[in-house]
């Protein structure tokens, strides 16, 4: 086994993990398909009227829709850091109030001391592959190969990050540490990513594998291949989502063809809600309020599907809470890995909910924007201490937090704080207790390169 763990991560693993020793044949494959800026309302199976998503609709018919599944943050970099580590991004220094995400001139990235899903699975002899957008640091020491992945093919940050006045280079397409195309031809990215994904599955069908498939789209600027351009009723945005849908279908078909569908967990979700400021070039949060960059539900609740034929009940729906923060502990538990014990994890093992009738173990979710804790949800209640909608320039602090009952009022329309003082107090106390668990760390998003 070619170990590519960072020294610190390796030490953490050796010190803190005891592999429970699943036999290789019992180790399931894991595929995480992660979109960029996809809205809660953008899929047919989540109610969109004019975006045709037959593959995702079928995935939902054969799997389980999660209706209250949160990304770890409302923007790209911190959201990805949360998924990869199972920890709120504030713990790894991967969020900032000055710079929401990493930019081409950023010098920081996900610290080597963090333990990623890929690292955990490498310890369990998994083949690990990252395809698509990384955005957890593009200096060499932060690239996917330093964080547990055997292979990477994709772009290092967002596809719009080539601002001339800032001196940004054209967006590169990379394989491992090498730039293979610059500018990346974005028209064919989804198609090429998909071919890479299918080829990776083909090469590794005899052993357990982990594929983290992080699409570049529907982040703006939008591109679709000629097969999809002009095809959707929903214009270019729909074309792009329909190509993503096709891609999901190709991956699931490959698993079926190789007869490994019954030993593969596939998760589909997104990094944050729709980019509403882009109007019709952005997506729809459906019935949820607001979108990307905000801590309203539309900013962080994602259209999510879990699929594992034979293990997950076909056509089922889960209304309990989940989060991308839960993927690390869930995957670790399924794959026979133990999670690190020397640090605060924020995820829960969702297995008993996915495979049985157990209620979700997640009862609380914290909503950060940058390093500021904006809101907390506990059970059905969500309290907002700070809000800023996409139409607002100003951040609003709420001396009396806003309170919404999300089960009754998923659209966050009716603030009931005045009548629910006890619940406001409970949620405020939860937020305070949580904040005490947060330790100061280097802010990776504010580390700039000394020169360009």
Query: Which positions are catalytic?
Result: 76, 135
Which of the ranges 178-186, 210-218, 229-237, 356-364 carries the binding residues for its own copies, by CB under 8 A?
Answer: 229-237
| Residue 315 contacts its own copies per CB under 8 A | yes
Which of the ranges 5-13, 80-88, 188-196, 278-286 carries the binding residues for its own copies, by CB under 8 A?
Answer: 278-286
| Residue 61 contacts its own copies per CB under 8 A | yes
| Residue 364 contacts its own copies per CB under 8 A | no
**In the numeric block, which tokens belong to residue 402?**
């806003």
| Residue 286 contacts its own copies per CB under 8 A | yes
Site for its own copies, residues 1 to 60, rule: CB under 8 A:
40-41, 44-50, 52, 54, 57-58
Smallest distance, its own copies to C-beta of residue 46, A: 4
Smallest distance, its own copies to C-beta of residue 351, A: 22
The helix/strand count (H/E) of the chain reads as 10, 14
Smallest distance, its own copies to C-beta of residue 57, A: 7
Pair 9, 113: CB distance under 8 Å: yes
Identify which of residues 272 and 444 has a Cβ nearer to its own copies in the complex. Answer: 272
Return d(Cα 144, Cα 35) in angstroms, integer: 17
What angle is formed at CA 436 by the lines to CA 432 and CA 440, rounded to 5 degrees? 130
Identify which of residues 98 and 279 has a Cβ nearer to its own copies in the complex. Answer: 279
Smallest distance, its own copies to C-beta of residue 297, A: 9
Return d(Cα 194, Cα 204) in angstroms, integer: 15
Pair 252, 169: CB distance under 8 Å: no
| Residue 359 contacts its own copies per CB under 8 A | no
Return d(Cα 28, Cα 209) in angstroms, integer: 8
Return d(Cα 179, Cα 368) in angstroms, integer: 34
Which of the ranges 62-70, 336-344, 425-433, 436-444 carries the binding residues for its own copies, by CB under 8 A?
Answer: 62-70
Give the burial class of 407: count Cβ atoms within 10 A of its Cβ; 0-12 exposed, 13-18 middle, 19 or more buried. exposed
Pair 171, 155: CB distance under 8 Å: yes
| Residue 68 contacts its own copies per CB under 8 A | yes
**In the numeric block, which tokens belong to residue 183?**
């500018």
| Residue 363 contacts its own copies per CB under 8 A | no
Smallest distance, its own copies to C-beta of residue 371, A: 29
Site for its own copies, residues 387 to 426, rule: CB under 8 A:
406-411, 413-414
| Residue 65 contacts its own copies per CB under 8 A | yes
What is the phi-psi region of residue 378: left when phi exceeds 0, alpha when psi lies from -120 to 50, beta otherwise? beta
Identify which of residues 61 and 229 has a Cβ nearer to its own copies in the complex. Answer: 61
Residue 398: CB atoms within 10 A of its CB come to: 16
Return d(Cα 202, Cα 353) in angstroms, integer: 30
Non-local (6+) Cβ contacts of 405 within 8 A are 380, 381, 414, 416
Smallest distance, its own copies to C-beta of residue 279, A: 6
**Considering CB under 8 A, how many residues would be counted as binding its own copies?**
39
Provide the edge-to-edge strand list for the sheet that holds 372-378.
364-369, 372-378, 381-387, 396-405
Smallest distance, its own copies to C-beta of residue 339, A: 29
Alpha helices in 146-272 (DSSP H): 189-203, 235-257
Binding residue (CB under 8 A) for its own copies from 141, 226, 257, 319: 319
Tell me which residue of 149, 236, 151, 155 sits closest to 189, measured CA to CA. Answer: 155
- Buried b / exposed e along 145-161 (16+ C-beta atoms within 10 A): bbbbbbbbbbbbbbbeb
Smallest distance, its own copies to C-beta of residue 280, A: 5
Binding residue (CB under 8 A) for its own copies from 165, 279, 393, 436: 279
Site for its own copies, residues 141 to 170, rule: CB under 8 A:
none
| Residue 249 contacts its own copies per CB under 8 A | no
Per-residue contact string for residues 184-213; x = within reach of its own copies by CB under 8 A: ------------------------------
Identify which of residues 107 and 235 has a Cβ nearer to its own copies in the complex. Answer: 235
Residues that bind its own copies (CB under 8 A): 40-41, 44-50, 52, 54, 57-58, 61, 65, 67-68, 233-235, 237, 279-280, 284-287, 315, 317, 319, 380, 406-411, 413-414
């Amino acid at each position: 086994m070619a170990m590519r763990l960072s020294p610190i991560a390796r030490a953490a693993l050796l010190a803190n993990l005891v592999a429970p020793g699943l036999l290789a044949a019992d180790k399931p494959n894991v595929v995480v398909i992660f979109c960029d800026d996809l809205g809660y309302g953008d899929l047919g199976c989540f109610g969109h009227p004019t975006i045709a998503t037959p593959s995702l609709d079928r995935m939902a018919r054969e799997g389980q829709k999660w209706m209250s599944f949160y990304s770890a943050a409302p923007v790209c970099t911190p959201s990805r850091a949360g998924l990869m580590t199972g920890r709120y991004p504030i713990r790894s220094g991967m969020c900032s109030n000055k710079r929401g995400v990493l930019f081409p001139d950023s010098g920081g990235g996900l610290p080597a001391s963090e333990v990623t899903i890929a690292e955990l699975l490498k310890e369990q002899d998994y083949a690990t592959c990252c395809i698509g957008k990384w955005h957890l640091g593009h200096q060499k020491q932060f690239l996917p190969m330093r964080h547990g992945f055997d292979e990477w093919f994709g772009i290092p940050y967002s596809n719009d990050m080539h601002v001339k006045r800032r001196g940004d280079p054209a967006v590169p397409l990379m394989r491992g540490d090498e730039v293979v195309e610059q500018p990346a031809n974005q028209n064919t990215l989804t198609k090429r990513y998909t071919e890479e994904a299918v080829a990776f599955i083909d090469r590794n069908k005899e052993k357990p594998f982990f594929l983290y498939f992080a699409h570049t789209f529907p982040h703006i600027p939008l591109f679709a291949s000629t097969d999809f351009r002009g095809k959707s009723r929903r214009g270019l945005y729909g074309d792009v989502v329909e190509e993503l849908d096709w891609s999901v279908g190709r991956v699931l078909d490959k698993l079926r063809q190789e007869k490994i569908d019954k030993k593969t967990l596939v998760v589909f979700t997104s990094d944050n809600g729709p980019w509403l400021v882009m109007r019709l070039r952005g997506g729809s949060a459906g019935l949820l309020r607001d979108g990307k960059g905000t801590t309203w539900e539309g900013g962080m609740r994602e259209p999510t599907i879990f699929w594992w034929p034979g293990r997950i009940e076909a056509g089922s729906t889960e209304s309990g809470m989940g989060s991308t923060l839960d993927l690390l502990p869930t995957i670790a538990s399924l794959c026979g890995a133990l999670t690190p014990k020397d640090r605060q994890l924020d995820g829960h093992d969702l297995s008993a909910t996915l495979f049985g009738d157990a209620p979700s173990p997640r009862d609380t979710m914290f909503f950060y924007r940058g390093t500021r804790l904006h809101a907390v949800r506990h059970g059905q209640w969500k309290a907002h201490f700070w809000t800023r909608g996409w139409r607002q320039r100003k951040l609003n602090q709420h001396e009396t937090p806003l309170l919404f009952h999300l089960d009754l009022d998923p659209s966050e329309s009716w603030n009931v704080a005045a009548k629910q003082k006890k619940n406001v107090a409970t949620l405020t106390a939860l937020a305070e207790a949580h904040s005490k668990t947060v330790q100061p760390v280097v802010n990776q998003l504010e580390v700039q390169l000394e020169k360009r």
